Amino acid sequence: MKLKILVQLIFTMALVGSPTSSLAHQDELNIVVEVKGEVHLKRAVWPKYQFAEIGNLLRPSDRLRLGRKASVKVLCNNLLVWNVPSGRESLVSSGCQSTANPAIKFDNNPRGPSRSPQDSTIPYIISPRDTMLLDSKVILRWNPVKGAKYYIVCIEGEKVNWAIQVTKPEVAYRGEPPLKPGIYWITVLADNGESSTSDVPVEFRILNQETALQVQSAVQQLKQQSLDPEATALALAHLYRSYGLKAGAIEVLEKVINSGSQISAVYQLLGDLYKQTGLISFAKNQYLKALKLSEAESNLEGKALAQVSLGEIEESRDQVIHWLQAAQNNYLVLGDKEQVEKLRQQLAKLQGRLP
């Protein structure tokens, strides 16, 4: 228990390994959605360029350098596409202007509520879990309990007290009575007596009508950009996440992964969303896939992001140290002194070299 508290405290005090860590004061998010030919990216803190990848999250101070026959599309924070000029170097702020109310934003609160994996013997909630929803139509999913023949599922809150008995670990709530903006709680009871309440309490909320209309308008604008399906899915997931619609973002990413996506950023984002909703074992699987794909791409930053994320969710001190040291080595090769120093301090605390 002391180790869990120590590790959680260290990660709470210093955000590491993510573009958000250097951008807590900047909301606007710009995403590389297409790369063709020789394209390089340079962060402001990097001494040299690295290969750009689909899914790179761009800061205004980042630079892109294209060969003469290369092309790159960047989805800007206002959902307009910037076709980066070929044959030269460009500052991201020159193509993606800052806006007062960006449609897609950096995630400035990436931490999840727990480092412990769920107990597979209970019907813990998988979805919706700690998320906003656009409307009353909800697909409820939970962990199937071995030997259970049926489940009783309940939704409570805001003058709603709904229950149903089902035999499968999934059921659709069709919107009657309609769920209004506010907080709702889900519980699942298996016929063997095991309950989802043995896990952390799980809630979801319905967006107010004004915000829901904003999201729907933004989704339509995004789909009009005619991006590649994988790029559209990645951008849509970031858009949903920006509005707290984590369940919607997860659904989009799960679909593109089931279609065979090989973009490391897709798996990294899905891992982040699982982690934020407390599904630790789900998150770990995605981070390991993101790491494997980043290694195949020789993507140093992608590897470091996945390694730091794995270090954030491991329970074993030795495993935490292993992943943070691996991330530190990759940031060292990148020349990112800021991240190297932050990781050095975290490792020193974990190893007892700092108070």
Is 241 a residue whose pLDDT tops 70? Answer: yes
Q: What is the mean pLDDT of residues 88-110?
A: 89
User: Residue 159 has what pLDDT?
Assistant: 86
Residue 267's pLDDT is 98
| Pairing status of strand 203-206 against strand 131-133 | parallel
Answer for the pair 307, 284: CB distance below 8 angstroms, yes or no.
no
Q: What pTM did the predictor assign?
A: 0.90
The domains located in the chain, with CATH, are 125-206 (2.60.40.10)
Q: What is the spatial distance between Cα 79 and Cα 350, in angstroms, rounded to a whole number?
A: 41
| 21 vs 150 pLDDT, higher one | 150
At residue 255, does pLDDT exceed 80? yes
What average pLDDT does range 205-211 have in this prediction? 95
Q: Is residue 342 pLDDT above 70, yes or no? A: yes
Each residue of 258-295: pLDDT tens digit?
999 999 999 999 999 999 999 999 999 999 999 999 99
Handedness of CA 345, 347, 350, 351 (dihedral sign): negative
Q: Residue 50 belongs to what H/E stretch?
A: strand 50-51
Query: pLDDT band for position 309 (50/70/90)?
Result: very high
Is the pLDDT reported for residue 21 higher than 50? no
Q: From CA 195, how far away is CA 188, in angstroms rounded?
A: 6
Q: Evaluate if residue 74 carries a pLDDT over 50.
A: yes
Tell me the average pLDDT across 181-209.
Answer: 95
Q: Output the pLDDT for position 116.
A: 76
- Of 172, 152, 124, 168, the closest CA to residue 277 belongs to 124
User: What does pLDDT average to over the chain?
Assistant: 90
Angle at 274 (CA atoms; ends 293, 176), nearest 5 degrees: 135
pLDDT of residue 351: 86
